[in-house]
Amino acid sequence: MAGQSQERTGQTDVEFRSVTKRFGAVVAVDDVDLRIRAGSFYSLLGPSGCGKTTSLRMIAGFEDPTAGEIFIGGEPVLGVPPYRRQVNTVFQHYALFPHMDVGRNVGYGLRQRRVPREEQERRVQEALDLVRLSAYGRRRVWELSGGQQQRVALARALINHPTVLLLDEPLGALDLKLRKEMQLELKALQHQVGITFVYVTHDQEEAITMSDRIAVMRDGRIQQEGTPTELYDEPANRFVASFLGQSNFFEGELLEDGELAGVRTARGLILWGRRPGSREPLAAGSRATVAIRPERISLAGDPPADAAVDRETATLPGRVLQGTYLGDQSEYQIETDALGPLMVRSINSEGLPAAHFGAGAAVRVAWRARSSLVLGI
């Protein structure tokens, strides 16, 4: 019994085995392996053209892989048409049927499966209740706001109790405030219904907020896969570090690889940084980059005379080029002789003096070597 339940919690709902998809000469998805755990909120994150939407469309059945295999709930689905898959999609622009009212839209899937009339009516109402549109069954879809249409699309997909719900940039068309609200709502909804969500987005903040796990994609390949924390704190390469959050990058030559690595930067300064856990090994002498998050750098009003860098800390004198006060935080562009320009973000929390530095101010820039990462180019 114990083994069985363990198997259930570890169950994989969607699996890609060496999946490749070509459109003519273009390789949209390039030899991707993927395992999405049952009941998880999984995001495919990447810039446009990275293959995330194509991957989603292959799960839905709108595209067939050129090579490789796809499994849904353990079953191979190659050649199974979309209407026979236990998968439903929330489309980017909702794709609601304009000639049907909200209730007819939501009940569409049930009608295809010849669910008895009374059950249809009950489940449509339940689905509308779930997305808080209880009284909207008779409304025309084009009378609804973007957020409401979004919810109708969700209800229309969820009513079929799919194994996996696919969401293709569903919040893309909404304004910022509504998007934030819907992010929380979606996450809560996923928790409530317990269905596996596969979420496609180019918005890193959205992915971080909602996902249990994220696969960062670029040029058809998965760059890194992990929890939001892993991706943010331990990015495997420069692309992931720049795509999730912001970073200062300093390129140079790798002196030695190890748990802690040293890089000689363009202006001769040697910076030390931690190597990420999921690191690709780097050869001494190869090109590498040191990545430092702007919020991991501290600023003080007492500039040192010279740059001092060792395996513990880095301390540099600098000058503020521009300071932007953002209320809860301040963002600075700092010019340093030793490294060139860098970005610093400091939180304006209570207790700390609101030490906002104006343009031209001489400052001390410092960070712990372990707060920076040494990554491959």
**Site residues, other proteins (CB under 8 A):** 60-62, 81-83, 87-89, 91, 93, 95-104, 107-109, 112-113, 117, 120-121, 124-125, 137-138, 156-157, 160
CB of 6 to other proteins, least distance (A): 33
Residue type, 164: V
- Which residue, 70 or 373, is less far from other proteins as judged by CB? 70
Q: What residues contact residue 36 under an 8 Å CB cut-off, 6+ apart?
A: 12, 13, 14, 15, 42, 164, 196, 198, 213
Q: By C-beta, is 105 or 204 nearer to other proteins? A: 105
Least Å from the CB of residue 15 to other proteins: 20
Strand order in the sheet with 67-72: 26-37, 12-23, 67-72, 75-76
- Nearer to other proteins by Cβ, of 101 and 257: the residue is 101
Distance CA 299, CA 290 (A): 19
Structural tokens at position 78: 């190659």
Q: Which long-range contacts (CB under 8 A, 24 or more apart) does 226-231 make?
A: 226/278, 230/278
User: Which of 153/186 has CB closer to other proteins?
Assistant: 153
Structural contact between residues 170 and 153, judged by C-beta atoms closer than 8 angstroms: yes
User: Of 151, 160, 219, which is closest to residue 188 (Cα–Cα)?
Assistant: 151
Tell me how far, at minimum, the Cβ of 259 lies from other proteins, in Å: 48
CB of 28 to other proteins, least distance (A): 17
Nearest distance, CB of residue 78 and other proteins, angstroms: 17
Task: Identify the CA nearest to 374 among candidates 267, 252, 268, 266.
Answer: 252
CA dihedral for 192, 194, 195, 199, sign (positive or negative)? positive
Structure tokens, 74: 């353990």
- State the nearest-atom distance from the C-beta of 104 to other proteins, in Å: 5
The answer to whether residues 29 and 218 touch, using CB atoms and an 8 Å cutoff, is no
Q: Which is nearer to other proteins, 89 or 204 (CB)?
A: 89
Distance CA 341, CA 338 (A): 9
Residue 245: closest CA among 236, 232, 255, 234: 232
Q: Coil, helix or strand for 187?
A: helix
The nearer residue to other proteins, 138 or 177, going by C-beta atoms, is 138
Nearer to other proteins, 135 or 266 (CB): 135
Beta-bridge mates of residue 218:
221
User: Could you tell me the smallest distance in angstroms from the CB atom of residue 44 to other proteins?
Assistant: 18
- CB-CB contact of 330 with 295 (8 Å): no
**Minimal distance in Å, beta carbon 99 to other proteins?**
5
Query: From the CB of 132, what's the least distance to other proteins, in Å?
Result: 16
| 101/253 with CB nearer other proteins | 101
Burial of 119 (0-12, 13-18, 19+ CB in 10 A): exposed
Cβ nearer to other proteins, comparing 125 with 278? 125
